């Protein structure tokens, strides 16, 4: 009788662990969904890195990966938060600007710059602030 109740207890604990494991998998899979088309993506621009503001999927993340849908359009806006010189560029794997997707530099604290992306292509690999390319760089995942 002791063996049977111990066996049941082990099965109960194992089943609970598996259920939690599956729940964790489904939650993290939702994090891999692309940002909705025509969404305005907003960053705070700081020399230390880009900080996501909107949409919610990137809020408070430093240099977040942008998951974008090929063929869709987006706007990327940043606010200069520290008065340093910033811009934003969309670059390929060779660190070359894709289709002239880049803004002018901006060194006025509180000012914004917006980059309109007409059509996401699979050659888009990263977004970068050229004056601070070591710290202000994030990946673009095109799906």
The band of 5, judged by pLDDT with boundaries at 50, 70 and 90, is: very low
The band of 32, judged by pLDDT with boundaries at 50, 70 and 90, is: confident
Res. 24: pLDDT tops 70 = no
Residues 35-69 as b/e (b if ≥16 CB within 10 A, e otherwise) read: beeebebbbbbbbebbbbbeeebbeeebbbbbbbe
Q: Which has more confidence, 125 or 38?
A: 125
Whether 15 is covered by a domain: the verdict is yes
Q: For residues 72 and 134, state if they share a domain.
A: yes
Other C-beta atoms lying within 10 Å of the C-beta of residue 101: 19
- Average pLDDT along the chain: 86
Eight-state DSSP code of residue 35: P
pTM, whole model, 2 decimals? 0.77
Whether 5 is covered by a domain: the verdict is yes
**In total, how many domains does the chain have?**
2
Q: For residues 52 and 25, state if they share a domain.
A: no
* CATH at residue 137: 2.60.40.420
Q: For residues 26 and 49, state if they share a domain.
A: no
Q: For residues 1 and 64, state if they share a domain.
A: no
Cβ-contact 64, 138 below 8 angstroms: yes
- The whole-number pLDDT of residue 8 equals 47
Whether 70 is covered by a domain: the verdict is yes
Whether 16 is covered by a domain: the verdict is yes
**pLDDT digit string, tens, across residues 40-57:** 999 999 999 999 999 999
The band of 141, judged by pLDDT with boundaries at 50, 70 and 90, is: very high
Q: What is the secondary structure of 36-97 as a DSSP string?
A: PTTPEEEEEEETTEEEEEESGGGTT-BSPPEEE-TT--EEEEEEESSSS-B--EEE-TTSPE
Whether 57 is covered by a domain: the verdict is yes
Whether 51 is covered by a domain: the verdict is yes
What is the rounded distance in angstroms from the CA atom of residue 118 to the CA atom of residue 10?
56
Whether 96 is covered by a domain: the verdict is yes
Domain that holds residue 2: 1-30
Whether 35 is covered by a domain: the verdict is no
- The whole-number pLDDT of residue 31 equals 63
């Amino acid at each position: 009788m002791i063996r049977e109740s111990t066996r049941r207890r082990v099965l109960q604990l194992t089943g609970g662990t598996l259920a939690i494991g599956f729940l964790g998998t489904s939650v993290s899979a939702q994090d891999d969904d692309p940002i909705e088309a025509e969404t305005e993506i907003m960053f705070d621009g700081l020399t230390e890195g880009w900080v996501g503001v909107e949409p919610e999927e990137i809020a408070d993340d430093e240099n977040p990966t942008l998951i974008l849908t090929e063929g869709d359009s987006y706007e990327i806006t940043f606010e200069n938060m520290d008065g340093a010189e910033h811009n934003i560029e969309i670059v390929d794997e060779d660190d070359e600007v894709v289709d002239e997707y880049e803004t002018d530099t901006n060194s006025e604290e509180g000012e914004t710059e917006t980059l309109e992306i007409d059509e996401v292509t699979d050659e888009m690999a990263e977004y970068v602030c050229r004056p601070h390319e070591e710290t202000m760089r994030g990946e673009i995942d095109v799906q």
